[in-house]
Structure 1
Amino acid sequence: MNTSCKAHTELFGHISNLCNSNLPKIHGGSYTKGFSPLSSKHWKKVVKNRTSKNGVVLSISSSSTRNLVETMAGDKDEGLTYKDAGVDIDAGSELVRRISKMAPGIGGFGGLFPLGDSYLVAGTDGVGTKLKLAFDTGIHDTIGIDLVAMSVNDIVTSGAMPLFFLDYFATSRLDVDLAEKVIKGIVNGCQQSDCTLLGGETAEMPDFYAEGEYDLSGFAVGIVKKDSVIDGKNIDVGDVLIGLPSSGVHSNGFSLVRRVLERSGLSLKENLPGSSVTLGESLMAPTVIYVKQVLDIISRGGVKGIAHITGGGFTDNIPRVFPKGLGAVIFKDSWVVPPVFKWIQRAGRIEDVEMRRTFNMGIGMVLVVNKEAALRILGGGQGTESVYCIGEVVKGEGVSYQ
């Protein structure tokens, strides 16, 4: 790769000062038994009582929301879809199907490689066109958190503890100060997930990227004992879906977000309607890294499956962890939907089904647990971190809402 040696040497100096290769590792907890199962009716009561403590629950499917969509956008404008914005989820799913024929085992959130009595679990991802908003807002110090999050959140769904992370940073011309901001975010993300930034690659490719722009990708590797893998095989009817809240859009759906932003006529410097933060700040909120919280919940027992809610939303991601013949019912009003999704739906006149298949809608990670574990988790065992009972496992396939 043709790169600037002097610039890279200076950047490497900055990275060396940022990184700490002796980050502490997560410690497990104990599993407490002895809870009585609850019926679906009782779960809904728990949901109602639980969410009332966390503020007003915003439903994305109420008649008032539909009326507001029509008022805000006007009848003459057609509703936007992810495909309209240039992203075809069905095409992506078809590619995975074809690849799985050539490489059996492909299609999970992380890839498992046997190593003695353990599996190495690996994942790779980028941050998509959220980078375009980073360029527009000038917010570069948190995009690295997004990069780490997208990979470590994938591998922790298998119960794996992240070990190390590598990054790839490509640009037309290396701006050391800007690159340092990006890598500070990557270091921050590694610290949040208790993994080591092991290395990376910086590439200068003149004429390939626009001046001042860059691209990112990342690769994470973790480890889990073979007898501790979370694989969803023992999920059964009546198991409970626990949702962990997101910080907002995270790092998926930004091609559609940018179309909505264009249609709205609003500037990224203007406040998100009904909020005290700007649109830019709201949309650039870094992806939550769930590693420590999820590993702690796993250590206490009862976790059967985990889905990272990224592209495809609830619709495509939750079924990925279910055995054949099982599906999920989602309780629509069981968590607080962040205002940014309300704005996206209003401004883009986006149908509920499209929102649920494109965005996380305020839930970034879903854990499928037995009822005893659900009672413990909902009972406040996770400290100050919010958790929601968002649904249950039923016979059938796919995801339905009630």
Structure 2
Amino acid sequence: MTEPDRERNPAITYRDAGVDIDAGNRLVELIKPLARATRRPGADADLGGFGGLFDLKGAGFRDPVLVSATDGVGTKLKIAIDTGQHATIGIDLVAMCVNDLVVQGAEPLFFLDYFACGKLDVETARVVVGGIADGCRQAGCALIGGETAEMPGMYQAGHYDLAGFAVGAVERGEILPRSDIHVGDVLIGLASSGVHSNGYSLVRRLVKESGLAWEALAPFEPGKSVAEALLAPTRIYVKPVLAAIEAAGGTDGAVKALAHITGGGLSENVPRVLPETVAARIDLASFAAPAVFGWLAQTGHLSDAEMLKTFNCGIGMVLIVAKGEAEAVVRTLQEAGEAPFLIGEIVPPGGARSEAKGKGDTWAVQYTGALRYA
């Protein structure tokens, strides 16, 4: 092509098409220190390679089974985008993955993230990854890699999406749930920080119906805006739960199963760890759901059954433990900073129907009492 041709037909570059490789490189340099701060035995958490490495022997495992989980944060992300409050959404991303690992008895080892957008805003992405790194530190896992995808035309201006992928390990003989869950075992609930990361399509609809702006003071949490209250990050239960498992004796200990209370609430998540021979009876009077749930129920005219199959209603994690060891497990959890509640027990299947149909033809969750709100 001659010089006049070039002037008449200038080159169309990747940047002209909407992809700024230099911006991506700037982001990588900004987040390298954030990732490095998550290093742990088995991983140096240095970014920039084609793949992340992890040394299982260096982490102290003898006969490990790997456990993986992947998740996102749903439409809670839309609140962060609409309000420009991005600092904690990365904690949610990590929490949704690592809490799913720990219910198998696994220690989270490493985490990778996927950040997709139409046009990369380096500062927004840096803040989001800062939250991811914070979540990794809380969980004790290393941020060893990720992907930033700038895809012009795929997302509205200012919008982005997140996905996370976590891998953990558990010694072969210590995988949960155990098969020896019996009638009389006790259910211990761990308090949630609020709505966590499930049910936000309904939450956003109810906020819209209420007429409240995101910046308005939250009627359910004094001193905070609606957005601030609803963006409270999902609790990461890894360290206290692993401490309880270890203190209870590992393989033959008191902790028999765990359920992460996500989409489907108590009604659908507790049955996932129960054998067909038993059911769970939960006393709703044994804990008070945070005020946000009362506001949601009132605003949406929602029944207890609907609340219990949509939201965590104040319980973010459930442990099933041997009855004689329940007090010791509660003590360990309290020492680790948790607020545990004795919320129920394992009973024979059948009885009053709940909204959750269990395995086979049994109804796996029975409720007594009614939801009460703080």
User: TM (normalized to structure 2)?
Assistant: 0.81
**Across the two proteins, how many residue pairs are aligned to each other?**
313
Q: Report what 1:245 is aligned to.
A: 191
CA distance in 2, matches of 1:284, 1:260: 15
CA distance in 2, matches of 1:155, 1:236: 23
Match of 1:386 among 322, 339, 362: 339
CA distance in 1, matches of 2:123, 2:226: 25
| 1:22 Cα offset (Å) | 6.1
Q: Report what 1:377 is aligned to.
A: 329
Q: Report what 2:268 is aligned to.
A: 316
Match of 1:130 among 76, 97, 112: 76
Give the RMSD, CA atoms, in angstroms: 1.7
Residue 19 in structure 1 maps to residue 35 in structure 2: yes
Q: Report what 1:366 is aligned to.
A: 318
Q: Report what 2:135 is aligned to.
A: 189
| 1:336 Cα offset (Å) | 2.4
Question: Does the residue aligned with 1:19 lie in a helix, a strand or coil?
Answer: helix
Query: For the Cα contact (< 8 Å) 2:240–2:333, is it kept in 1?
Result: no
Q: Report what 1:296 is aligned to.
A: 243
Query: For the Cα contact (< 8 Å) 1:157–1:308, is it kept in 2?
Result: yes
- Going from structure 1 to structure 2, the CA distance change for 1:365 and 1:206 (only over 3 Å counts) comes to same
| 1:351 Cα offset (Å) | 1.4
Match of 1:334 among 271, 286, 307: 286
Q: Report what 1:284 is aligned to.
A: 231
CA distance in 2, matches of 1:263, 1:306: 36
- Which aligned segments of 4 or more residues in structure 1 are displaced greater than 4 angstroms? none
CA distance in 2, matches of 1:169, 1:382: 36
Query: For the Cα contact (< 8 Å) 2:177–2:256, is it kept in 1?
Result: yes
| 1:274 Cα offset (Å) | 4.7
Superposed counterparts of 1:2-401, under 5 Å: 3-20=19-36, 23-24=39-40, 117-276=63-222, 277-301=224-248, 302-379=254-331, 382-383=334-335, 384-396=337-349, 397-401=363-367
- Going from structure 1 to structure 2, the CA distance change for 1:204 and 1:297 (only over 3 Å counts) comes to same
Query: For the Cα contact (< 8 Å) 2:35–2:144, is it kept in 1?
Result: no
CA distance in 1, matches of 2:220, 2:135: 30
- Going from structure 1 to structure 2, the CA distance change for 1:334 and 1:219 (only over 3 Å counts) comes to same
- Going from structure 1 to structure 2, the CA distance change for 1:268 and 1:21 (only over 3 Å counts) comes to closer
Q: Which moved more, 1:1-10 or 1:257-266?
A: 1-10
| 1:169 Cα offset (Å) | 0.2
| 1:18 Cα offset (Å) | 1.3
Letter in 2 for 1:299: E
CA distance in 1, matches of 2:166, 2:83: 28
CA distance in 2, matches of 1:334, 1:166: 38
Which digits, 9 at most, give the CA deviation of each residue in 1:88-146, with x for residues without a partner? xxxxxxxxxxxxxxxxxxxxxxxxxxx98221000000000001111122110100000
Question: Does the residue aligned with 2:161 lie in a helix, a strand or coil?
Answer: strand
Question: Does the residue aligned with 2:204 lie in a helix, a strand or coil?
Answer: helix
Letter in 1 for 2:278: L
CA distance in 2, matches of 1:9, 1:24: 25
- Going from structure 1 to structure 2, the CA distance change for 1:221 and 1:381 (only over 3 Å counts) comes to closer
Task: Mark the runs of 5 or more structure 2 residues left unpaired by the alignment.
Answer: 1-13, 42-60, 249-253, 350-362, 369-374
Letter in 2 for 1:282: A
Question: Does the residue aligned with 2:143 lie in a helix, a strand or coil?
Answer: strand
- Going from structure 1 to structure 2, the CA distance change for 1:131 and 1:374 (only over 3 Å counts) comes to same
| 1:381 Cα offset (Å) | 5.6
Q: Report what 2:51 is aligned to.
A: none
- Going from structure 1 to structure 2, the CA distance change for 1:181 and 1:127 (only over 3 Å counts) comes to same
CA distance in 2, matches of 1:195, 1:232: 25
CA distance in 2, matches of 1:288, 1:150: 9
CA distance in 1, matches of 2:72, 2:275: 29
Q: Report what 1:87 is aligned to.
A: none
Percent sequence identity is 51
Query: For the Cα contact (< 8 Å) 1:173–1:205, is it kept in 2?
Result: yes
Letter in 1 for 2:241: V
Query: For the Cα contact (< 8 Å) 1:307–1:318, is it kept in 2?
Result: yes
CA distance in 2, matches of 1:274, 1:135: 22
Between the two structures, name the one with larger relative contact order (CA 8 Å, sep ≥ 6): 1
| 1:230 Cα offset (Å) | 1.2
Q: Report what 1:39 is aligned to.
A: none
Letter in 2 for 1:120: L
